[in-house]
Structure formats: C-alpha cells, structure tokens
Chain A
Amino acid sequence: MPIKSYLAHPHQGKKQELVHELSSISSCEVIPAENNDLVIVVTETNNNTEDDILKEKIEAIESLKLLAMVSGFDTPKSN
C-alpha cells in the first residue's frame, strides 16, 4: 500500500483552487502552508497501479504548477 508525500506548488494566485481540487480526491490528505504558496499532499493507495492513476489525476489539475515527490513508502495491507 504505497504512501507518498509531495510538495505541490500552485500557479500564482491559485493556491485555494488547488487546495480545493486536491481535497476533493478521497485518497489525498492535504496540508496547505499558511504563509507560502505551497501545499503538502500525502497519498495513500492500495497498489502501484492505483498510485499511478492517482498521480496522473493530481498532475491534471490546472491550478497545479509543479508536483515534487518528497518521500515514498510501501506498507503491507492490514486486511
């Protein structure tokens, strides 16, 4: 079960829009910075295929300027 964290950089003036879009994706946890145009995104999916699909979905968001992965973990399923 891949767990990854990213730094998401919005286009200028589009931070709120990006936070809104990311928050609507169920497997994304979103933590916006209070004083910078930057958003932390943590994803949790069931397998690598789902992970790839999710990443494509995030990258398709128009308000997103750049998505940079920080860490990636793969954990066994709990059930």
Chain B
Amino acid sequence: MYTSLTNRREFIKKMAVMSAMTAAATMFPGILFAEEQERNLPENANLDWKKAPCRFCGVGCGVLIGIDNGKAVAVKGDPKSPVNKGLCCVKGYHSVISIYGKDRLTKPLIKKNGKYVETSMKEALDLIASKMKETISNHGKDAVSIYGSGQWTIPDGYVASKLFKGCIGTNNVEANARLCMASAVTGFMTSFGIDEPMGCYDDIDHADVFVLWGNNMAEMHPVLFSRLLDQRLKRGVKIIDFATRTTRTSMAADRSIIFQPQTDLAVANAICYEIINNGWVNKSFVEKHCNFKKGLTNMGYGLEDHYSFDDKPEGITFEAFKTFLQDYTPEKVAKISGVSAKDIKYMASYYGDPNKKVMSLWCMGMNQHTRGTWINNLVYNIHLLTGKISEPGNSPFSLTGQPSACGTVREVGTLTHKLPHGVVTNKEHREFAAKIWDVPAENIPAKPSYHTVEMFRALDRGDIKFMWIQVTNPMVTMPKLKRYRDACEKEGRFIVVSDIYPTPTTDIADVILPSAMWIEREGMYGNSERRTQYFEKMIEPSGEAMSDTWQIVEVAKRLGYEKQFYYNEDTHIEEIYNEYRRHHEGNKHAMAPLEVLKAEPGAQWPYVNGKSTKWRFNADYDPACSNGEQFHFYGNPDGKAIIWQRPYEPAPEIPDDDYPFWLCTGRVVEHWHTGSMTRRIPVLHKAMPHAYVELNPEQAKEMQIQTGDRIKLTTRRGEIILPASVNERGVPERNQVFVPFFDENMLINDVTLDAFCPISKQPDYKKCAVKVEKV
C-alpha cells in the first residue's frame, strides 16, 4: 500500500507522541493529557458522553465514552467516579479502539470439513442446542460444560449458572477467575467465612504504609498505584514493594525487598513471630474476635488427574500458635527467603506500630501460588493479630485482575462449587436458588464437579464432550497448555467459542459465535471493592454479534427451558438483574437497585437503606454487624475470624542441575491479559509488539546474552524461543527469568506447570524450573 511521506511523517509524529504518553504513563500512572484527547476528536464533534466501567482490569475505573454518530470515538476518566477520580491509564484511554479492529468476528462460523463456513446466528444456535441435547442424551448431563470469565457481565454469568446448574443439572460451570482469584476466595472463606475484601479503595486515603505482596501495581493497577503515589506526595506515606523481581513498582517504592520464590509463606510467619515476640499483639481484639486453627499439611500439588483434597481444620490455642512460630524467627527465615532479618523486622515494625495504619495489597503473586490459600491466610493473620482490619486505612486488600471477577464469578458464583447465594453442597442454599430459578431443588447436584484444570483434564480424558467457552482465551492461558490444546482437538469433542476476535481458542472451535463487546450491549461489572457498575448499550454490535447473555438465553429456550428463560429481549438485562438481586437479599450482601446503578458511578454491596457499605465487619459502617461489639466477623457462625497455623512448604518443582532457573510469568502495562484486544490497538501493540524473556543483567553478561538474542527456554513440558530482554523493564534476580504471557505467537504456557493450590485449585504460574540457553 502506498503511503505518502507527509502521511508517514504525521504517523511518526503520532507515534512519537504516543511513545511519550506511554512513557509518562509508566512514570506517573493515571496521567492525563486532555488536550491530546480533544485533538483526536472529530471536527465539530458534538459528542454524547456516556458513563461505563472500563472494559479492562479489575480496578473498575469509571470512564466516559464519547459517542459520535453511533461510533465510540473517545474515552476520558469519569471525574465523578470515586475509583479513579477522573484518571485513566494507557489501556483505558485507548479502549474504544479495540472495538473496531479490522478482523472483528461479525458472523457465526461453523467448522465443516476442516474449514470455517459462515452461517446465520439461528443455524449456529440451533446446532449448539442440538449438540448439547445429543451429548446429554448419549453421555449424561456431566458431559456438557461451560467455561466463562471474569469478563462476563453479571447477567452473562447468571444465565450461564441458571442454565447449567439449575436447568440442565450439572455443576460443570467454571470461569477463568479460577486462574486468577480462586486463592483470594478461599483465603477469605477460610479466614472469615465470607468472600471479598472488607475494605475499599478509600483505605488508600487513610493508610500510612502500603505493603505490596508480590504485586507490580505500577503496571497492573496503574490508576490505583497513582493514588498511592499521590498520597506519598500529600502525606508522606511509605510504599514497600515485597517481590521476587525488581519492577517499575520496586523502582517507585520507598523500599524494595526481594524474596526467593515461595518463601513469602515463611516471611509472613516471621512477621507474626515478631509481632508476638515484641508484644505488639492487640490482645483485646484477638480475644474478642479471633479463633486459632490449623489444617492438614503436605497436601501435594494437584499434578495428577482426579487429585482431591479436603482440609480437616482443628482448633488450636494461642500458645500452640506461638510455639509453631518458633521455627520462623527472622534469623531462621532469612536463610531460606533471602530476606535479611533486618528487613523482616522492618516490615513487622510497621504492622506492629499501633500508630501506623497499614494496607496490604496483593494480586497474582499471592494467588497464583501452590499454597495460595495459605499465604492469603497468613497476611490476614498479620492484620488480625494487630487488629489492623476493617477500619479506614487498616486493610488487607486483594486486588482483582478482571473487570467482573468479583461481580460475576465470585458474587454470581460461576464456579463449580458455588451458587449465587452459598454453595452447592448446602441443601438450604440449593433449595433457595432452585426456588428463584423455578426449577426442582433436586436438579442442582450436591457435589461440585470439575475445577478449571480438572475440567480441561476431563475434556482430554473424554469425560467432558461438549464445552462452551465465552469471553476468555484458555488456549493462551491454561498452564501446561499443549495437553489441553491437544485435548480440544480430539475426536468426539465439540467446542463452542464466543468471542469478538479470532484467537488461538477460536482456532480449536467447532462453532464460533461473534459476541457483542462491552458497550455494544447492556450489562454490569463488579470490581475489587464490591462496587457494582452499570453500562448501557451505547452503539450497535458489529455485524450479527450478539451479547453472551442473549446467546445463552436463546440456547436455553431451544433446550426447552422457555419457562425459566422468560426474559424479553428489550428488557432482559433489567429482568435478569432484578431476579439476581433476590439471591442476595439481606444486610450481608444486598445489591443496589438498578436505578441507583444507572444514576451513580456504582454502588458497593451490602447496599442497605440507600447506602453503600465501605467497610464490612465494623459496626460503625456495616449494617450487618449485630453482636453489639465494634467488630463482627459474621461470615463465621461464632462471629469470629480465624488465625491459621500454616507452614512454609516448598514449590512442587524447584530448580536443579538440569533446569537451574526459576520461570515466572505475568503481565505488562500495555496489554490486557492475552492481548486479544490490546494488540489490536496500534499504539499499544507497537509499544509492546511481542513477548520476551527478562534475565538478570549480571548473569546475562556472564552468559554473553544481550537484549534481542534468541534464548531457548526448556522445561519438563517443552521448549520455546524468545528474544532476550536485559536491563529493560524488569530485573529478575540471578537464576530467575520472567516472561509475559500476552503474546499468542510465543505461548509461554506451553512450558508452564499445571500444579495448583489444593484448597483453591488455582494454578501457580509464577514458579517452575527452566533451562536457559542462548541459541
């Protein structure tokens, strides 16, 4: 294609501006260039600005979308949003561009004789329903499954759960949040008996110290990180980055403390040791509000098919807990963690200081961990021992990665064991859901079936024959990916994929349904701080694209569930949301009415008497507290939180002579997850065009490796070649390498390990052993 030099210069100028904006955004997360935004608008634009939560991460920034002649042309941060206060990150600012990629899926495709053939939506939906009927008839209801996402809107996940659990009668419902948030869920459930953070983002405005546990906030949650930096400018707060690798977060922090992979367990216990040893325990809080327990140890790592584990908790005394911690003195832990005793004492001193409010923040570093539930428990232990919890600024806070991992997966309950209210193993909970769903209670099986890794293993074995995948890209994200890609392509499997662009996952589909994206349909997301946010349909979907909600409703009707799926096409989102709210009635989890969500920049549940709840379990803020005390951990029957005795245990695969490095995987600021949207935003794609392997600079020099050299990574699962990155963005420690997973052309998950936390069943993408060679 001919490009004039003038055009090329203009393009290069634009690139120069964008490079500078990207650089600025990484130095000052959340930075705004309003004039540049205005300049990009169409001439004489009379934009209609409409509010929505951002499409990308779990922070849930409020954005305003500028609509011009039926097209989304601009984005700006919503100044009315208490989440981002008008800020927007580099992904959010460019988000609407991802709607208009040239290769948007606009028509349903059916695979015939190895080739995809366009068809009508009616024919595609008919085929899906008939395949489901046939599979259930031939192989039973547990041979069909649905795999969704933390990007599902609340109505998407709700109708999926209702169809599969309530109507068909299988618990084969999972979502990719199993890969990112499951350990946070089991951490909350085991410590507090109820899911999701007690605090909120307002804690940032009150805390004096922020401890980031393996959490590269500067890249993954840039707008929230900018709020931390803002507080440092205003109030001189301290930011401690506790991580396995030096990142942009480390560079911006007041203190960077590096630990050896997996040893965060030991360090957290050492902090508890210090708190007790120095007399920093908040005795009255612990006596009134906490119990001590221990569970089973040496649980394994879930590496084998059909692995199962049930913890057997038993109560212990404070004295027993204290004795257990004798193995975790700072000096002992320094030897295994690489963290000096001085640094352990430094962190402990902030937690122990009664005059400092401390916020702990974490995300994938603690959750993608073979002892993910335990490390969540241990950080809660620190906050519970010191009583620094459930009040402004004292807040253990688990951040989410997806826009509705909380709202849809955790609250609607699109995991095999969950229901919108409660769990499938509880008869009362099943009966309650069945009543609202208008199905017999016995329809809902009492036993969970497959968590995500096991679901794909079941597909491989042939126990599952049909899988419907919506809004997610497991053929990039599953660990030990080759096994599961081969499974999808086996004879006798039928895979439906609903998405907006071609991906490695649509490549293995038998039917591809084009989905309406984000503001092409109506919906709600729920973010990390229990905030539910509504967005209206602002533009028409591309081609024949249909919302994931309505795709499921259409198939449900074809399966004969017209009575349960009575919704009117024009009003179905409102009808579904109102039905869903019934599951959460009561002071502990009441959801705001739809008209409130439409008018406000979101509302935080429990929403009681016209008011959001910012801090749970604290009687000053939470209407569900009823024990007459300041704090009430009502998720547990006795109203108390649990301090867990959880030991340090090593990772399942540690470096050895054959595979001498640790491999850690993760994300980059430019791309959101697998890049299927952000790689179609030219400025982001050009800023970060491909994956790479980060090496320790000193070690790279010894190995005569420079940036750009081809590096072969070999694990026990396979090998991959990537360009080297030395002294660029992140700096790993010696004998460690880091690879981002966004690049579908360099699938790092082909070589990762599918070990998981036995309690949460969440895989550990942060640790396996790898050989590193220059080729």
Contacts and interface: CB of A to CB of B under 8 A. Distances in A.
Interface of A: 1, 3-7, 29, 31-36, 38, 40, 42, 44, 70-71, 73, 75-78
Nearest to B4: A78
B512 interface: no
Contact of A73 (B6, B15, B31, B86): B15
A15 B517 CA distance: 40
Nearest to B21: A40
A1 B36 CA distance: 23
B572 to A, nearest CB: 39
Given A36-B24, A42-B16, A75-B12, 8 more contacts: A3-B9, A32-B35, A34-B34, A38-B24, A38-B28, A75-B5, A75-B8, A76-B5
A71 B31 contact: no
Contacts of B86: 35
Contacts of A6: 20
Contact of B15 (A38, A40, A71, A76): A71
Contact-residue bracket for chain B:
20 to 34
B86 to A, nearest CB: 8
B45 interface: no
Given A5-B20, A40-B21, A42-B17, A31 B9 contact: no
B13 A44 contact: yes
B34 A78 contact: no
A42 B13 contact: yes
Contacts of A1: 9
A33 B31 contact: yes
A71 to B, nearest CB: 4
A2 to B, nearest CB: 10
A-B interface, 6 closest residue pairs, ranked by CB to CB distance from nearest: A5-B16, A78-B5, A71-B19, A5-B20, A34-B32, A40-B20
B352 interface: no
Contacts of B33: 31-34, 40
Contacts of A78: 4-6, 9
A77 B17 contact: no
A70 B23 contact: yes
B87 interface: yes
Query: What DSSP secondary structure best describes chain B's contact surface?
Result: helix
Contacts of B647: none
A48 B30 CA distance: 34
B92 to A, nearest CB: 14
- Find the residue from A3, A34, A44 having the highest chain B CB count within 10 A: A34
Contacts of A77: 5
B17 A40 contact: yes
Nearest to B36: A31
A58 B28 CA distance: 23
A71 B28 contact: no
A70 B27 CA distance: 12
B20 A70 contact: yes
Interface in B11-70: 12-13, 15-17, 19-21, 23-24, 27-28, 30-36
B12 A35 contact: no
A57 to B, nearest CB: 18
Contacts of B15: 71, 73
B24 A7 contact: yes
Contacts of A29: 13, 17
Contact of B16 (A3, A33, A34, A38): A3
A77 B5 CA distance: 7
13 contacts: A3-B16, A4-B16, A5-B20, A6-B20, A7-B20, A7-B24, A31-B17, A31-B35, A38-B24, A42-B17, A70-B20, A75-B5, A78-B5
B93 to A, nearest CB: 12
Contact of A75 (B9, B27, B30, B35): B9
A38 B13 contact: no
A19 B343 CA distance: 44
Contacts of B21: 31, 40
Nearest to B7: A78
A34 B35 CA distance: 8
Interface string B483-523: 00000000000000000000000000000000000000000
Given A3-B13, A75-B5, A75-B12, A33 B32 contact: yes
A40 B20 CA distance: 7
Nearest to A73: B12
Given A70-B19, A75-B12, A38 B5 contact: no
B13 A71 contact: no
A35 B85 CA distance: 11
A35 B30 contact: yes
A73 B686 CA distance: 14
A9 to B, nearest CB: 10
Give the one of A35, A44, A71, A73 with max B CB within 10 A. Answer: A35
A58 to B, nearest CB: 14
B39 to A, nearest CB: 8
A53 B189 CA distance: 65
B17 A5 contact: yes
A73 B10 CA distance: 12
A26 to B, nearest CB: 15
A70 B6 CA distance: 22
Nearest to A44: B13
A38 to B, nearest CB: 6
Contacts of A34: 32-35
A5 B36 CA distance: 14
A79 B93 CA distance: 35
Contacts of A71: 15-16, 19-20
